[in-house]
Each structure stands twice: as C-alpha cells, then as structure tokens.
Amino acid sequence: MKTAIINAINQKQLLSVTYDNIERVIEPHVYGKAANGKEYLRCYQVKGGHKSSTKHDWDLLEVSKVTSLSETGDCFLNARPDYVRVDKVIKTIYAQL
C-alpha cells in the first residue's frame, strides 16, 4: 500500500479507498508518519460518503484503517489552492505534492 500511495502522489492520480467502511475517491497530497508512529495520508475527498454531514473536503486518513486502495485511472492537475505543505500532524514525509 505504501508504494501505491507514493506513486499516486508523485503521478497526481486519484485513489479509490475504503475507510471506516465507506468508499471514497481522494486526491492524495501528503503521506508519512506522525510523532505517534502511525502513518497518515492527507487528502482531499472528491467523491463518496462521509461519517458526518459535511461536504467533500480535506481528510486525514490513518493508513492502517484503509481496508482497500486502488488507482481510479484518473488524474488531478495540481495541489488544491488551500493545501499547506507543512503538515501539522505528519512529521516524516514519504511523499508530498
């Protein structure tokens, strides 16, 4: 899964993931390890469901809770305008836009 996430970030590929038993399509922006030792993926959700009633927006996914991950075959052009490269949670960066 680690290699697939890194490749998707480097190639700006949309990913289809299942997280909290909910299918989502995301734009991955940064992937790495937090101070607590867990791996996280900061992404922007463009399709799929939510646990809350919020609109599609930024998500921070704990990678160990992702139960499926695949490339959609579609790409996105650039990082979102409100993307901040210095992530507050992810301290060791494996890949980022």
Q: Residues 14-27: pLDDT tens digits?
A: 999 999 899 999 99
Average pLDDT, the chain: 94
What mean pLDDT do residues 53-81 have? 92
Q: Which residue has the higher pLDDT, 52 or 87?
A: 87
Determine the pLDDT at residue 50.
Answer: 78
What is the residue range of 45's domain? 2-96
Q: Which of 36, 28, 35, 37 is nearest to 1 (CA)?
A: 28
Query: Sign of dihedral through CA atoms 36, 40, 44, 47?
Result: negative
Residues 6+ apart with CB under 8 A from 25: 14, 15, 16, 17, 45, 46, 47, 48, 72
The structural domain count of the chain equals 1
pTM, entire model: 0.93
What percent of the chain lies above the pLDDT cut of 90?
A: 87
